[in-house]
Structure 1
Amino acid sequence: MPKKKVTAAQLRKLDRQLVELLNERAAAAIANGELADARGETAVEQSASAVADPAVLQFAVDNNDGPLSAGAIQAVFRELLSGIRSANQPIRVAYLGPAYTYSHLAAIARFGQSAELVAVATIASVFDEVEQGHAQFGVAPIENSTDGRVADSLERLARMNGAPGSAEAAPPHVQICGEVPLRIHHCLLGRGARSEIRRVCSKPQALSQCRNWLAAHLPGVKVEPASSTAEAASLAAAEPDTAAIGAEQAATNHGLSVLARNIEDNSENVTRFAIIGTHASDRTGKDKTSLVFEAPHEPGALADAMAIFKRHRLNLTWIESFPIPGARGRYLFFLEFQGHPAELRVKRAIASLRKKALRLSLLGSYAEADMVG
């Protein structure tokens, strides 16, 4: 690392060397078959974990001596891997749009900006794009630490693979193959001064997650819901007395100023996104498995089902109940636990639960992901 000031010519030389090394790394990956498995399948055909290899990102961080942060190093290598994959075979990823929503940021965090990131209008459309083969992957929110479950996503997950309560089964290969736990940092965005704000817009969830801050710092200001944080940013860009709540990246995209940062009431505000695809993820040793089942409507049925996981020493990381449409009093139960179906105790637990459940469907297994943001 240079210990004294360098000239502009020396900086340009370093830049050229960086470009040469990046291209050399990409060429080596392609030549060594790093993008394909033994069957000749490309990374796109394998799993979401192959797109942004956690081992590569961790190796880069472990060998970082600064001054760049671990996050900056991860971002550089994530985009490098994204570029390598796209050079070999483009990856199409559907997400709940428009651009610079948190779903978009989650897609970037997982797949990089070299992937073809396609905004769609609804969560249902994210699933449709993957099920119909128009996109290799989809990114859909499933839960938020403040507002809880995302019902639209659970409804579609319940239909995957002929799961309980599905009126029409999706193609049997669609499954959850990854996750992105994204830390949500809300910002107040606008054109004018904070003292001039008369209206604050955002999607209902964002407004809910900032309600205490708004009451304390902008009392009396009108609060109005918008269809998305991106739409709210567009409204703020058009009207000086209107502010939006959204991601800091949205400010740059819409020409707004950041009037206040981190205004979420819960500093641990996290939204977890599911990555859906058509191929299973490989076992990593640090995996989670999701399933959905219906228990008999009788005393102790759910308790008996939960006891299975205790008996097999499997840690539950998520449980959610969901009413079956058109079937009053009947519920689906979404479960996620640490482990992979390749493990004997997981196989035995699933087999035991299948005997007790009216219906059961595995939704997918995937590597447990670190927090982003």
Structure 2
Amino acid sequence: MPDPKPAPTGPVQSEALGALRVQIDAIDQQLLNLLNQRALVAEKVGEIKRAEGSPFFRPDRVAQVIEKIQTNNQGPLLNQHVASIWREIMSACLALEAPQRVAVLGPQGTFCEQAAIEFFGSAANLIYCANFDEVFHATAAGTAQYGVVGMENSTEGVVARSLDLFLRSPVHVVGEVSLLVRHNLLRQVNSLEGVEVVMAHPQALAQCQGWLSTHLPNAERRAVSSNAEGARLAATNPAWAGIASERAAAQFGLHIVSHAIQDEAYN
């Protein structure tokens, strides 16, 4: 007797699904061609700006383009997603005109980094600084064309150091980003047991003091230069924990032991 036909080892693709994927592949190629056409035009724009001495990055122009795109959007893509897509397109094209150097509080994984990417797009060249003083210095000295610092929090109010630095520095505000800040407890092991030290920026420690007093009353609270720095240090010692973003957890390979531990839900 003939051997039975072997069962397929992978997922079976229907003809209808296969046809739709062919359509998507063709549309993707069209999108790629159009994006590269846009990039070529952007390079010519950059040449003119360079000759005229015009600024390469104009937040008002970015806002105008995104607003126009959202007005013309007929769906089904949501406007917020369309805005994110176009911000990245414009960021990539701007990088061809002239890469933008942006100073942020480091290391990788800070909320300042997140704000910078939301404002400038992921094609910006980020310069990571140890503290806000360095961000201001890098921007004023021209090492960076822009800087991103925290200014205000709904729980703790104005970030005093940033305000002081603005009063003493020649830089000025060109835009703002509002972030919904979610503080998470990060650690090498997925447990609250054995936590001896919790590290974070002083603002974050203050914003989570109620949760810390309830769940880790005996742990030392150690202030560091940024939440991401606390996460970086937590990755070096199993008895240490950091308070930081999900982005920082991914960056340093840490477990999120507890999500959203800030005392105010809308931080």
Q: TM-score, normalised by structure 2?
A: 0.80
Give the residue type in structure 2 aligned to 1:184.
Answer: V
Q: State the partner residue of 1:123.
A: 132
Determine if contact 2:46/2:98 at 8 Å carries over to the other structure: no
1:236 matched to 2:245: no
SS of equivalent residue, structure 2 residue 67: helix
Cα drift, residue 265 of structure 1: 1.5
2: distance between equivalents of 1:35 and 1:215?
58
State the match for 2:108 in structure 1: 99
Aligned equivalent of 1:178: 175
Distance (whole Å) between structure 1 residues aligned to residue 77 and residue 260 of structure 2 = 23
| 1:110, distance to aligned residue in structure 2 (A) | 1.0
**Number of matched residues?**
250
Structure 1 residues not aligned, in runs of 5+: 161-169, 270-373
Distance (whole Å) between structure 2 residues aligned to residue 70 and residue 262 of structure 1: 27
CA deviations 1:123-160 (Å, max 9, x no partner) are: 22222222222222111222222122222222222124
- Structure 2 match to 1:26: 39
Q: CA deviation at 1:267?
A: 2.2
Measure, in 1, the Cα distance between the counterparts of 2:257 and 2:70: 33
Residue identity over aligned pairs, in percent, reads 37
**Counterpart-to-counterpart distance in 2, 1:55 and 1:260:** 40
SS of 2:176's equivalent in the other structure is strand
Shift of 1:59: 3.2
Structure-1 residue corresponding to 2:9? none
Q: What per-residue deviation string (whole Å, max 9, x for no partner) do you get for residues 314-365 of structure 1? A: xxxxxxxxxxxxxxxxxxxxxxxxxxxxxxxxxxxxxxxxxxxxxxxxxxxx
CA distance in structure 2 between the aligned counterparts of 1:79 and 1:22, rounded to whole angstroms = 11
Equivalent in 160, 165, 186 of residue 156 of structure 1 = 165
2:52 alignment partner in structure 1: 40
How far apart are 1:81 and its partner, in Å? Answer: 0.8
Q: Which has more strand, going by share of residues?
A: 1
Question: Does 1:255 find its partner at 2:267?
Answer: no
Determine the C-alpha separation between the residues in 2 that align with 1:190 and 1:71.
33
Deviations 1:185-236 (A, max 9, x none): 1122223122435132212211111122233344444433222212211222
TM-score, normalised relative to structure 1: 0.59
Tell me if the contact between 2:101 and 2:126 (Cα under 8 Å) persists in the aligned partners.
yes
Over the aligned positions, Cα root-mean-square deviation in angstroms equals 2.8
Where do 5+ consecutive residues of structure 2 fail to align? 1-15
User: Which residue of 187, 192, 209 corresponds with 1:190?
Assistant: 187
CA–CA distance in structure 2, aligned partners of residues 241 and 67 of structure 1: 48
Paired residue for 1:57?
Answer: 66
Structure 2 counterpart of 1:119, which letter?
Answer: Y
Say which SS state the counterpart of residue 175 (structure 2) adopts. strand
